[in-house]
Chain A
Amino acid sequence: MTRRPWFVALLALAALPAAASAQSLLNAAGLGVPADPIDARSRALGGVGIGLQGAALLASDPAAAVGFALPTVVITAQPSWVDVQPADAAVVSTFQGTRFPSMGIAYPTPKLGVVTLSFESVFDQRYEAQRPVTVDLVNGPVDATDHFTSNGGVSQVRLGVARRVGNRASVGISAARYTGSVVRRLVRDFVIPAGQEPVEPYQAGGLWTYSGASLTGGVYANIGSFGHVAGSLTWSSGLEASPSSDTEGAAQSFDIPLQLRVGGTAVLAPGLSLSAGLTRADWSGIDGQLTQGTSVGTTTSYGVGLELSRASIFGRQAPLRFGYRKSDLPFVLNQGTPTESVWAGGLGLHLSRSGDFVRAALDLALEKGTREDAVLSESFWRGTISVRVSGF
């Protein structure tokens, strides 16, 4: 009975919309900004989603799930506060949003290993834009505003399994199905003076539903007491965007490139470790499939982080983490290669332990970063909160 409050809290979190809230104007480029569904610990360590010590439920590192000894649920939330400044304007606009980049469950089994089921964001496509226009009618000019809204994104449902191979290595494999949808709608609102007859707004747009599949394989190997290394490879079928029956826009298919990730952690001293990771993908194959804009070609992301795992707060273990990460974003919105760079810090809180097992933990990360291309500059604060509950 004492476990019920846990479930109430988890159900409340699970009931929140999984669709990501907008966090960047660069979402307008190509398929949007990659959502990077990694947890708060990886964020705090500047991670790229692979190569960290301990158990983790990450789409990019399927072998890392092997460390879960108890059934575990992990949910991650990510609020952001963003200031945007176009290069040709002095005005800074501000927006904010919260998204839930991943949630999943890991379930250890005696025969298969650790089975994982997760739901994660892949591309964030939410943004809005508007332009003032003047329409010339017979009785004179009429002011109007075009509002454009893109609402939705690409997500994945993933099923994976991880198991040990010998004493020092483990492997993991996961299969995912692309899901999610995007609604793109243009509305022209006419500004009619009070007392005059209303003019109905013009609306155009449609709904596209995403489908497709991907396969990720990964390995994880301990290197004695020095640390460990890990690597993974993700292959995707085409990402298919199918319009609804009442959508005028066309269906489209996008090639998602092979994505390679490597990472590792070195133990510098007891309770002090250094982690680093790198990902690489060639997006140039998608160029001919975009009706607007291009890809940047090959993207590279890397990050490094330092973890003090023996730190404590109020007598409870609370690892401290610091990191830096820099990522190329795959799609060009204006000119130049858009990049994102962040400095990060964070800590973990073990909320409940049972012997050697952590029954409940909370990881927090706070990032200060910038995203920019030749025209647009966004500076942001981004928080990440991961809740992990085990043994329910």
Chain B
Amino acid sequence: MIRNRTAAFLGLVVLGSAACKEVSPTGVDQTLLPDEPVTVEVRLPWSEWGSNLAVFGGFGTTDELGLGIVAHAYGDSLEAHTLLTLQNVPTSATVRDTTGTQRTDTLLQVLGGRIIAVVDTVGSAADGPVSLEIGMFGQTWDPPTATWDLAVDSLGHEEPWEEPGAGPVFNAVTTVWERSQGDSAVFQLDSAQVAAWSDTTSANQGTRLVALTGGVRLQVRNVLLQVDARPSSNPDTTVVLVANRLQMTFVYTPSAPAPDDELRAGGTPSWRSVFDVTVPQSLSEPKLCAAVTCPLELTAQRVNYASLVLRTRRTTPSFAPTDTVNLDVRPVFDRSTLPKSPLGTSLLTTSIGKRFAADLFTDEADSEIEIPITQFVRSLLSPDTTAALPPPHTLALLSTFEPVSIAFASFYGPATLDAPVLKLVITAGRSVELP
């Protein structure tokens, strides 16, 4: 018993000793620290780190965007038409009759209706009222492959539109939309027009939405048809029948030509800019050399920060961004298989990429932006020797989401005075020694 008590006491002593909170002595005396390392910012011109810039287009299709675009004489004479298909208008409705009983009524009397186009006010460029026209076309078309000139552009089968831009149309109606009145452009239909729009005899019937006002580019989020009808079982009421859109895409002309000396990212289909990165193995920066022996070997531990410094360029007006641009940068695994090489995961810390204001590519062009690539540069300097493959030396600059907008971002290319720069923040010091 005595032994047990004693052992318990000993245990308490042990625990008491171990439980003492450790607080290490921290001095602020300079003599307690090794020589102060030096931190400098180095900006390497393109010729010292970059090469083989190539810009590839064609990633994604207009129908993957899930949005429509209408434009007329916008920017460099951009023309864009939104094409869609609508559901059939319901021919019956469940209504409460005069006795209060719910019943399906198939004898509906059409009174009129409307087509509503919902406009993305942020992603659209229009200063005043915009005249819009919506019409029907009967030509067979293929939404995933349709272009300005071709209704069908699938493998081995090309079929041009009767008129470029999905024309001609019939049963066309017009309206005027103005941003200040909301996001809906409403095309009123009388009963005869509703009957025409509800005609289901043509299985290929398509709908085309165009802008008649020049100098505008609208982004269309949705289009639907609403029909007002009077049920026979209760003539005092009106029911609204809705035909939603099934597919929506857009066709446009002219396409943006491939750039000569420019980095480009985004658009629909999307552009990607691909280039090789070679980080120098040593540096002789004067400020560094004043503190350490030069040339200084550049190691991963010495790189605190690395970023691509790009200078924005005014994007060709037809495709100038009107909304925030989200850009991403990813390693390219196999350059030889471009443009189809798989990409690595994003080098950025946020899933939405790096966000840049649209003005940077219009009114505030020629601004400097940075895209951090610290871990990528570090991996080039200290490759993971256990990895099966060497680290990729090629980067792709692209839109975070592809496609997300018809607009794309432009940056000055390597042959310009504002060529991309590799910014490095480097810290170096003498080795830490024993005292």
Q: Do the beta carbons of A202 and B37 come within 8 Å of each other? A: yes
Among candidates B6, B34, B427, residue contacting A202 with C-beta atoms closer than 8 Å: B427
Q: Please tell me which one of the listed residues A127, A205, A293 contacts residue B432 in the complex, with CB atoms under 8 A apart.
A: A205
Question: How far in angstroms is the closest Cβ of chain A from B347?
Answer: 11
Q: How many residues of A contact B (CB 8 A)?
A: 81
Contact between B13 and A97, CB atoms less than 8 A apart: no
Q: How large is the interface on B (under 10, 10 to 19, 20 to 34, 35 or more residues)?
A: 35 or more
Q: Which of A26-34, A58-66, A274-282 contacts B (4 or more CB under 8 A)?
A: A26-34
A128 cross-chain contacts in B, Cβ below 8 A = 24-27
Contact B10 A9 (CB under 8 A): yes
Provide a sorted-by-A list of 27 A–B residue pairs whose CB atoms are within 8 angstroms: A3-B3, A5-B3, A5-B4, A5-B8, A12-B11, A16-B17, A22-B25, A28-B27, A79-B17, A84-B25, A95-B23, A127-B32, A128-B24, A129-B26, A130-B27, A131-B33, A137-B41, A186-B33, A186-B34, A186-B432, A200-B304, A202-B302, A241-B434, A250-B431, A250-B433, A291-B433, A292-B31
What 4 A-B pairs have minimum CB-CB distances, sorted nearest first?
A5-B7, A129-B32, A202-B427, A248-B431
Q: Are A148 and B33 in contact (CB under 8 A)?
A: yes
Pick the contact of A86: B20, B24, B29 (CB < 8 A): B29
Question: Taking the complex as formed, is B170 at the interface, i.e. its CB lies under 8 A from any CB of chain A?
Answer: no
The tally of CB-CB contacts under 8 A between chains A and B is 200
Partner of B26, one of A29, A130, A185, A351: A130
Is B290 among interface residues, defined by CB-CB distance under 8 A?
Answer: no
User: Would A95 and B25 count as touching, CB distance under 8 A?
Assistant: yes
- Chain A, Cβ-Cβ closest to B306: A200
Using an 8 Å CB-CB cutoff, how does the interface string of B9-43 with A read, 1 for contact, 0 for none?
11101110110111111111111111011011101
Q: Do B28 and A131 touch across chains, with their CB atoms under 8 A apart?
A: yes
Given A96-B21, A129-B26, A138-B43, does the pair A199, B305 have CB atoms closer than 8 Å? Answer: yes
Bound complex: CA A146 to CA B32 (Å): 11
Q: Check if B17 sits within 8 Å of A200, measured CB to CB.
A: no
A5 to B29, CA, bound (A): 47
A182 within 8 A of B: yes
A97 and B301 within 8 A (CB): no
Selected contact of B32 from candidates A28, A95, A252, A290, CB within 8 Å: A28
For the A-B complex with A128-B26, A200-B305 known, give 19 more contacts whose Cβ atoms are closer than 8 Å. A9-B11, A12-B11, A28-B27, A77-B17, A95-B23, A127-B26, A128-B25, A130-B28, A131-B33, A138-B43, A146-B33, A146-B36, A146-B37, A190-B304, A199-B425, A200-B303, A202-B37, A202-B39, A249-B432
Closest to B13 in A: A385
Instruction: Please give, as numbers and ranges, the residues of chain B lying within 8 Å of A74 by CB-CB distance.
Output: none
For B435, list chain A residues within 8 Å (CB): 28-31, 290-293
Residue on A with the closest CB to B370? A197
On whether the beta carbons of B33 and A8 are closer than 8 Å, the reply is no
Contact of B25 among A6, A25, A79 (CB under 8 A): A25
Q: Cβ of B36: which chain A residues have Cβ within 8 Å of it?
A: 131, 133, 146
Q: Which residue of A lies closest to B17 (CB)?
A: A77
Residue B207 CB within 8 A of the other chain = no
Binding site for A on B (CB under 8 A): 2-4, 6-11, 13-15, 17-18, 20-34, 36-37, 39-41, 43, 301-305, 307, 349, 370, 372, 374, 378, 425, 427, 429, 431-435
Residues of A within 8 A of B (CB): 2-3, 5-6, 8-9, 12-13, 16, 21-25, 27-31, 77, 79, 82, 84, 86, 93-98, 126-131, 133, 135, 137-139, 144, 146, 148-149, 182, 184-186, 188, 190, 197-206, 208, 241, 248-250, 252, 290-293, 333-334, 351-352, 360, 362, 375-376, 385, 387
Chain A residues near B434 (CB, 8 Å)?
Answer: 182, 184, 208, 241, 249-250, 252, 291
Q: Which residue of B lies closest to A11 (CB)?
A: B14
Q: State how many angstroms separate the Cβ of B1 from the closest Cβ of chain A.
A: 9
Residue from the list A2, A139, A241 in contact with B4, Cβ < 8 A = A2
Which A-chain residue is minimally distant from B433 (CB atoms)?
Answer: A249
The answer, among A185, A201, A352, for a CB contact under 8 Å with B2, is A352
Contacts of B432 in A (CB 8 A): 184-186, 204-206, 248-249
Shortest Cβ distance from residue B385 to the other chain A in the assembled complex, whole angstroms: 13
CB distance from A192 to the nearest CB of B (A): 9
Given contacts A131-B33, A385-B13, contact A202 B431 (CB under 8 A): no
Task: Name the contact of B20 in the complex, choosing from A97, A148, A352 (C-beta under 8 A).
Answer: A97
Query: Across the interface, which residues of A come within 8 angstroms of B433, CB to CB?
Result: 249-250, 252, 291
Name B11's closest neighbour in chain A (CB-CB): A9
Do residues B20 and A22 form an inter-chain contact, with CB atoms below 8 A? no
Contact partners of B22 in chain A: CB under 8 A = 21, 96-98
Q: Is the beta-carbon distance between A199 and B304 smaller than 8 angstroms?
A: yes
When distances are taken between beta carbons in the complex, the residues of chain A under 8 Å from B43 are 138
| Residues of chain B lying within 8 A (CB to CB) of residue A27 | 25
Contact indicator B23/A94 (Cβ below 8 Å): yes
By a CB distance below 8 angstroms, the chain B residues around A135 are: 39
Closest to A334 in B: B31
CA of A190 to CA of B32, assembled, Å: 20
Q: Which residues of B contact A188 (CB under 8 A)?
A: 37, 39, 304, 427
- In the complex, the answer to whether A6 meets B24 with C-beta atoms within 8 Å is no
In the bound complex, do residue B28 and residue A387 qualify as a contact, i.e. CB atoms below 8 Å apart?
no
Contact: A129 with B27, CB < 8 Å? yes
The verdict on A137 contacting B37 (CB below 8 Å), with A8-B7, A95-B26, A290-B435 known, is no
**CB–CB A351/B6 < 8 A:** yes
C-alpha spacing A148/B30, complex, angstroms = 11
CB distance from B110 to the nearest CB of A (A): 56
- Bound together, the chains give a CA A375 to CA B303 distance in angstroms of 37
**Are B17 and A97 in contact, CB atoms less than 8 angstroms apart?**
no
Asked, given contacts A95-B23, A131-B28, whether A9 binds B374 with beta carbons under 8 Å apart, the answer is no
